[in-house]
């Protein structure tokens, strides 16, 4: 999501945060009806250079699982569900490190082989468990179906369609104004996002563009109404696998969590890569989109969202 140089910041009055909601290193953006009602930044995007967090530095926002489902309406014959998204063992950060260490993060076939070697936790469809490998497999399905590289397909057929010009897919590859990730104040390197994390948390964006993406999913041109209903439908109860002090009755749709907060329906997703945390929120009844990101992985974002909703609702 967002942490960029102070160069080109908008009117400072638009960034006012009198409640001190952005009390963490990172970005906080709220859009109501497409209008920015809060845009606030704090901390440093890079401790070494002293570059402050601001409107333009990109942070891995882990919206790959949302964009990969958004591809379904563009990919001819595209799948309607992430392969294994309810049954395979999740690819956590330890797994990602193992895959990258053994396979160098450069051969997709070996990554798929590594996934195939793991036992299923339960019969498909019987329970829910978040699965990054499911999204990795779906990204490869999109490549084979479309005949294009996943990053190219996603950029040209989804991100550009949503006018997200400062959002990119995969590794940074020397891009400027990409925030450094930290763990308890110490710099950390993220794992490979071109192969190991393809389709699962491999999209980096600014705070404003992440909020715009959330709203585009909820009400914009990115999805047809039929695809939107399918994506936002509560397909399976999350249960004890995902608890929250903010949201009740949590279910999983396609790449999104659904539930209720303060008596209102809410669509949201959290995410993390090494050194980063992000959370996106959509409240359809209020046409309210929230994007919160931090380049410090120890940041707890749910209390931030809770305070933000108290302020805005």
In three state form, how does the secondary structure of 86-101 look?
A: CCCCCCCHHHHHHHHH
Instruction: Give the span between the Cα atoms of 144 and 149, in whole angstroms.
Output: 9
**What integer is the mean pLDDT of 21-48?**
88
Nearest to 68 by CA among 53, 55, 54, 78: 78
Residue 31 confidence (pLDDT) above 90: yes
Instruction: Give the span between the Cα atoms of 36 and 81, in whole angstroms.
Output: 33
Q: How do residues 64-110 score in pLDDT, each as one tens digit?
A: 455 444 443 333 322 222 223 333 334 444 444 444 444 444 467 77
Instruction: Give the span between the Cα atoms of 121 and 88, in whole angstroms.
Output: 6
Residue 231 confidence (pLDDT) above 50: yes
Helix or strand holding residue 205 (H, E): strand 203-205
Edge-to-edge strand order for the sheet containing 59-60?
59-60, 203-205, 168-169
Global pTM reads 0.79
pLDDT number for residue 79:
26
Domains of the chain and any CATH numbers: 22-312 (3.40.710.10)
Residue 309 confidence (pLDDT) above 80: yes
Q: Which residues contact 40 (CB under 8 A, 6 or more apart)?
A: 15, 16, 17, 21, 22, 27, 28, 29
pLDDT number for residue 280:
94
Q: Do 9 and 295 meet the contact criterion of CB atoms below 8 Å apart?
A: no
Burial of 219 (0-12, 13-18, 19+ CB in 10 A): middle
Lowest mean pLDDT among 63-67, 187-191, 250-254: 63-67
**Tokens at residue 89, please?**
């063992």
The radius of gyration computed from the CA coordinates of the chain, to the nearest angstrom, equals 18
Instruction: Give the span between the Cα atoms of 236 and 250, in whole angstroms.
Output: 9
pLDDT number for residue 244:
83
Reduce the DSSP state of residue 291 to 3 states and report it: strand
Instruction: Give the span between the Cα atoms of 39 and 49, in whole angstroms.
Output: 23
């Amino acid at each position: 999501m967002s942490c960029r140089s102070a160069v080109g910041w908008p009117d400072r009055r638009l960034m006012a945060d009198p409640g001190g909601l952005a009390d963490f290193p990172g970005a906080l953006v709220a859009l109501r009806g497409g209008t920015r009602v809060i845009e606030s930044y704090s901390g440093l995007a890079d401790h070494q250079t002293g570059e402050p967090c601001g409107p333009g530095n990109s942070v891995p926002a882990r919206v790959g699982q949302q964009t990969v489902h958004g591809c379904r309406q563009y990919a001819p014959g595209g799948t309607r569900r992430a392969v294994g998204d309810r049954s395979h063992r999740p690819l956590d950060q330890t797994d990602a490190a193992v895959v990258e260490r053994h396979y160098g993060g450069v051969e997709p076939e070996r990554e798929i082989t590594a996934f195939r070697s793991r036992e299923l936790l339960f019969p498909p469809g019987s329970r829910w468990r978040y699965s990054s490998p499911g999204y990795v497999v779906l990204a490869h399905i999109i490549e084979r179906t479309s005949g294009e590289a996943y990053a190219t397909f996603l950029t040209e057929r989804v991100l550009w369609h949503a006018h997200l010009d400062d959002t990119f897919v995969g590794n940074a590859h020397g891009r400027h104004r990409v925030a450094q990730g930290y763990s308890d104040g110490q710099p950390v390197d993220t794992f490979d996002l071109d192969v190991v994390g393809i389709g699962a948390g491999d999209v980096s964006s600014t705070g404003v563009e992440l909020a715009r993406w959330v709203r585009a999913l909820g009400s914009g041109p990115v999805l047809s109404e039929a695809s939107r209903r399918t994506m936002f439908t509560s397909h399976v109860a999350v249960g004890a696998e995902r608890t929250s002090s903010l949201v009740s009755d949590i279910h999983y749709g396609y790449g999104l969590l659904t539930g209720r907060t303060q008596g209102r329906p809410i669509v949201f997703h959290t995410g993390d890569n090494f050194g980063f945390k992000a959370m996106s929120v959509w409240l359809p009844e209020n046409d309210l989109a929230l994007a919160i990101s931090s380049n410090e992985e120890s940041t707890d974002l749910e209390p931030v969202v809770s305070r933000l909703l108290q302020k805005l609702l």
